[in-house]
Structure 1
Amino acid sequence: MNLLTLVRKPAYLAALLFLFISIGDGVMLPFFALWAQKDAGVPVAWIGMLFGCYAGGELLATPLLGGIADRLGRRPVLLASTLGVGGGFLLLSFCHGVVATAAVLLLIGAFESVLHPTVFTVIGDVVPQDETRHYFAVARVLSSIGRAIGPAIGALLVLRSLSTVFVGSAIALLSAATLVVCLLPETLGTGAGEEDDEEEEGFSALLPALRDRRLGGLLLCFMLLELSGSWVETVLPLSVHAAGTLSPSGVGLLFTFGSILTAVLQIPVTRLTARFNARCLVLASAALSIAALGVLLASPSLVALVVAVTCFSTADVVCGPLMPSAVNELAAPKTRATYMAAVSVANDVKDTIGPASGTLLFAIAASLPWVAGIPLVGLAAWGLAATLAQSASRPTV
């Protein structure tokens, strides 16, 4: 094995972590709304608020912990976060009240606030900038495989009880922790140039979007574009259950289909679109998402659901790798985890606002999330495409 292979090995291990993380999320996420409605007795209009506690914990913790991997190292942060999230899922399986569930979800979110950005950071540490899009695509393939395996496992577990899915999620995250302990080396400082002696601390250092306008513009548009996607994850299970189109297990299989499609298409599409500029990719992705929302608006049938999920998955394949690659390009080596944490903040805001707003819209009218999603996707995609183009034309400071 040559030196280049050894240097890149942590990138593949980091991508493999996404497999287990996504299995953990995929096992329980498609069934969370149904569990809250049936087992926890939460009114539909409030399910999103409870769901948002998961992202809310991340949002509260990120200002304190977001850039901690730039100081303590990638490996200890990943170990603590995987153990914390896995333990939190295990606790969730024993929760029966809204207050207790919300508290555990906030705890899980606090540990997860550093999980995804630190895994992305490991890839950025050891991969040349001109190859990051490919490696992020590999990570997304494994993540999609995990999202396919997760709902399938959840569909089996839910036959026993809805709460059992949380045990499956816990096992997946504890497996990720084992991978970190046994195989993942420390990558802090790998490929970094000379660092400044002075280290920034505090809120402004952990949220660089406050002082980097290029990053702030990317994150705002990205968050708005992804908002409707969070509506699909939260509202679609409730919608198909209300229409009687699919059983809870059927919902899991539908999400499994979408994840398999993403896994199969990600690498070929990334290679085919390597020469396309970011503006074209974002607008193409938006067109597919708008088509999917239109299909959901037109019909609740099984055929319509399959077509919509196909369009959503393809849109995710086209646009998905762009964001981490663009943010990694903006960041200096010593602030890479901090910049990735800023992406996590945008995701947390989206995941907090999205479920709450989506279920609220659904409570008003079943079709309202799809109606509102169409103009939202169009405007956000236009803004993201323009911001990506401007960032590419400016030198990194």
Structure 2
Amino acid sequence: MLSKTTISTGGLLASSLLLTIGRGATLPFMAIYLTRKYGMAVDAVGIAMSIALTVGVVFSLGFGILADRFDKKRYMLLSILVFITGFIAIPLVHDPLLVVIFFSLINCAYSVFSTVLKGYFADTLEPGAKAKIFSLNYTFLNIGWTIGPPLGTLLVVYSIDMPFWMAVFTSAIPLVLIQRYVQSVQIARAGPDQAAVKWSPSVMLHDRALMWFTLSAFLGSLVGGSFASCISQYLLAVADSDFAQKAVGLVLPVNAAVVVLLQYAVGRRLTAQNLKPLMGLGTLCFILGLGGFMIADTNLLLWGVSVAVFTIGELIYAPGEYMLIDHIAPAGMKSSYFSAQSLGWLGGALNPLVTGIILTTLPAWSLFAILTGAIVLAWLCMLKGMHGRSWDTPRLTAV
């Protein structure tokens, strides 16, 4: 018979998948939606979407921190309701400003759900199971991003509003799953080997390890968070559109296949004891992948091999960054710490802007040289954050 924790975990993983499918079916078409329905110029669309994504991340920080003060189950349900409300509102309003506001609301709600989900897992799972579930959740997220965009493509043929209504449907199912199958968790209690820390955002401001890990996450996200967009921009700058289309058509499926096939197998092997060397291996894979991109030119085989190696780095970093935060977060402040780390997602949001600046001002190959430097800095920041902390057993007090 399945335990209550197993059932709760299964319900949350399924909910994570369904919400990501809804987001994946709509986010890629927001630019088309704003252009077709409101006649917005391309530059205006880019500014609007960047603002919406950034506002979503920043506001989710505050709401995620507050999650540690309330029942996490109810908090997730509330974020899903806001998520659904945004998708219902966008097709019904007739003002581009309101569309951007509701799109910001959607991104904020999704970020809050993702943050509280990680906090819930950190509070309820045994230490040996956390890496496995973090990796499994990351696999589900990638499956959602693999399924969502093609569904959106099919639906937009019938109506530009259809992807939003599909997102409403896929987002409603998690409401039932979480309400029925997920146990309530309010504030985690410190165990016998953990130091009880009174909930206070000021604890995070004095935790230098958190600051180093957040900076590391920012730099890592700058390299891997929007790599598909980065590759597309690079190929359009150095090759003709026909080859760019072929290369992107190869890179994205290889990335998705490696993630879906290997993420759980790789991520489940991460432990506090081997985290430092494995994150070093992940950094090396990023460097080798970026080096392959730099010399690939029009060699599709080299593009495929390079993205496979690059993706292995992604497989290690994704659960590894969560485990770093889980290891240092005091009992009762897991969601708060994960919220602070979510600021690192801004690196991925800035990647297209940074890529565009580099490609228009420097030689094209320098893009991957600069990203290589960024991932090395991410690794050094990680080491700095780990310095002085024990990585054999959790030490959950702030420094």
TM-score, L = length of structure 2: 0.80
Structure 2 match to 1:184: 182
Alignment counterpart, residue 207 of structure 2, candidates 200, 209, 212: 212
Structure 2, unmatched stretches of 5+, are none
Aligned counterpart for 1:387 among listed residues 356, 361, 385? 385
Question: Letter of the aligned partner of 1:215 in structure 2?
Answer: L
2:283 alignment counterpart = 286
CA contact (8 A) 2:213 2:341 kept: no
Q: Do the aligned residues in 2 keep the contact of 1:278 with 1:322 (CA within 8 Å)?
A: yes
Which residue does the alignment assign to 1:122? 120
The reply to whether residue 84 of structure 1 matches residue 79 of structure 2 is: no
CA contact (8 A) 1:148 1:260 kept: no
Distance 1:153 1:306, change over 3 A: farther
Worse-superposed segment, 350-359 or 322-331: 350-359
Q: Is the 8 A contact 2:212 2:384 kept in 1?
A: no
How far, CA to CA, are the matches of 2:160 and 2:233 in structure 1? Answer: 15
For 1:132 and 1:37, locate their aligned partners in 2 and report how far apart those are by CA, in whole Å.
43
Within 5 Å, give how 1:104-183 maps onto structure 2: 104-157=102-155, 164-183=162-181
Per the TM alignment, residue 120 of structure 1 is displaced from its structure 2 partner at its CA by 0.7
Question: What value does the CA root-mean-square deviation take over the aligned residues?
Answer: 3.8
- Code of the residue aligned with 1:219 in structure 2: it is T
Question: CA contact under 8 A between 1:74 and 1:188: conserved in structure 2?
Answer: yes
Q: Secondary structure at the match of 2:54?
A: helix
**TM-aligned CA distance change 1:197 to 1:81, over 3 Å:** same
Q: Post-superposition shift, 1:55?
A: 3.1
> Displacement of 1:212 after TM fit?
0.9
Q: Say if 2:193 is the partner of 1:228.
A: no
Instruction: Answer yes or no: is the 8 Å Cα contact 1:26–1:150 preserved in 2.
Output: yes
Alpha-carbon distance in structure 1 between the residues aligned to 2:72 and 2:78 = 10
Query: What CA distance in whole angstroms lies between the structure 2 residues aligned with 1:372 and 1:381?
Result: 14
Amino acid at match of 2:214: L
| Contact 2:286 2:309 (8 Å CA) reproduced | yes
- Residues 101 and 299 (structure 1 numbering): CA distance in 2 closer, same or farther, change over 3 Å? farther
Q: In structure 2, what residue type is equivalent to 1:148?
A: T
Structure-2 residue corresponding to 1:51? 49
Query: Aligned partners of 1:86 and 1:253: how far apart in 2?
Result: 34
Greater mean deviation of Cα atoms: 153-162 or 315-324: 153-162
Distance 1:335 1:235, change over 3 A: same
Structure 2 residue aligned with 1:102: 100
**Partners of 2:157 and 2:250 in 1: how far apart?**
13
For 1:79 and 1:358, locate their aligned partners in 2 and report how far apart those are by CA, in whole Å: 37
Contact 1:30 1:251 in 2 (8 A): no
Residues in 2 aligned to 1:219 and 1:61: alpha-carbon distance in whole angstroms: 17
Question: In 1, Cα distance between the equivalents of 2:128 and 2:230?
Answer: 38
Q: CA deviation at 1:127?
A: 0.8
Aligned residues: 389
Write the mapping of 1:245-324 to structure 2, written as runs, cut at 5 A. 245=242, 255=252, 257-271=254-268, 277-297=274-294, 298-299=296-297, 303=301, 305-324=303-322
Deviation of the 1:84 alpha carbon: 1.6
Could you tell me the TM-score, scaled by structure 1's length?
A: 0.81
Cα shift at 1:50: 3.3
After superposing the two structures, state which structure 1 stretch, 349-358 or 177-186, moved more: 349-358
Gap change, CA 1:178 and 1:57, over 3 Å in 2: farther
Of residues 215-224 and 230-239 in structure 1, the stretch that sits farther from structure 2 once superposed is 230-239
Partner of 1:74 in structure 2? Answer: 72
SS of the equivalent of 1:68 reads helix
Code of the residue aligned with 1:287 in structure 2: it is L
Question: Within 2, Cα distance between the matches of 1:105 and 1:147?
Answer: 18
Give 1:331 shift. Answer: 1.9
Contact residue 14 and residue 123 of structure 1 kept, 8 A: no
CA contact (8 A) 1:49 1:356 kept: no
Q: Give the direction of change, closer, same or farther, for the CA distance of 1:296–1:306 in structure 2 (3 Å limit).
A: same
Checking the alignment, whether the CA contact within 8 Å between 2:139 and 2:259 is kept in structure 1 is yes
Once residues 32 and 296 of structure 1 are traced to their aligned partners in structure 2, the CA distance between those partners, rounded to angstroms, is 29
User: Could you tell me which of 322, 325, 331 is aligned with 2:323?
Assistant: 325
Larger deviation: 306-315 or 258-267? 306-315
Alignment-derived partner of residue 345 in structure 1? 343
| DSSP-derived class of the 1:391 partner | coil
8 Å CA contact retained: 2:189, 2:196: no
In the alignment, is the contact (CA less than 8 A) between 2:195 and 2:396 conserved in 1? no
Q: Hey, what's the Cα distance between the residues in 2 that align with 1:60 and 1:191?
A: 28
Structure 1, 265-274 or 311-320: larger mean CA deviation: 265-274
In structure 1, what residue type is equivalent to 2:79?
Answer: S
Offset of residue 365 of structure 1: 6.7
Give the letter aligned to residue 7 of structure 1.
Answer: T
- Could you say what secondary structure the match of 2:290 adopts? helix
- 1:309 & 1:165 partners in 2: Cα distance? 30
